[in-house]
């Protein structure tokens, strides 16, 4: 099992709908969790960070963390074509400060 797993997609969502992106992680990853957005040919851009169980909302984005089930998700409400990108999940570790990365989920918002 990879330490941080994401479905590579592509995930296709109609414009205006809710996009749901999921990430599962192993025992080695237990600290902070981050969602990054990466457009093709660009570097990752931080969208959300979440450190404790529950939901965290920021505009159209909601991050959800469930430590018991070892998953973290990102919901994008009112999806726009400009949300089309690869979304990367990353988690921190207890043992050191290295972030562990998933391979990313490609999201396509169809007009």
Partner 1 sequence: GAGVSQTPSNKVTEKGKYVELRCDPISGHTALYWYRQSLGQGPEFLIYFQGTGAADDSGLPNDRFFAVRPEGSVSTLKIQRTERGDSAVYLCASSLRGNTEAFFGQGTRLTVV
Which residues of the shown chain bind partner 1 in the complex (CB under 8 A)?
A: 31-32, 34, 42-46, 49, 88, 92-93, 96-99, 101-104
Which residue's CB is nearer to partner 1, number 17 or number 103? 103
Q: Please, what's the largest Cα pairwise distance for the chain?
A: 44
Smallest distance, partner 1 to C-beta of residue 30, A: 10
Distance CA 22, CA 64 (A): 9
Report how far Cα 24 is from the mean position of its chain's Cα atoms: 10
Which residue's CB is nearer to partner 1, number 44 or number 73? 44
Smallest distance, partner 1 to C-beta of residue 71, A: 17
Distance CA 41, CA 54 (A): 33
Contact present, 64 and 73 (Cβ < 8 Å): yes
Which residue's CB is nearer to partner 1, number 18 or number 37? 37
């Amino acid at each position: 099992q990879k330490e941080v797993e994401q479905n590579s997609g592509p995930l296709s969502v109609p414009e205006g709908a809710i996009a749901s992106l999921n990430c599962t992680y192993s025992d080695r990853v237990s600290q902070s969790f981050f969602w990054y957005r990466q457009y093709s040919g660009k570097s990752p851009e931080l969208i959300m960070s979440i450190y404790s169980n529950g939901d965290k909302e920021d505009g159209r984005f909601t991050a959800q963390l469930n430590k018991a089930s070892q998953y973290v998700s990102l919901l994008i409400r009112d999806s726009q074509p400009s949300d089309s990108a690869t979304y990367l999940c990353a988690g921190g570790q207890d043992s050191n400060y290295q972030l562990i990365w998933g391979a990313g989920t490609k999201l396509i918002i169809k007009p």
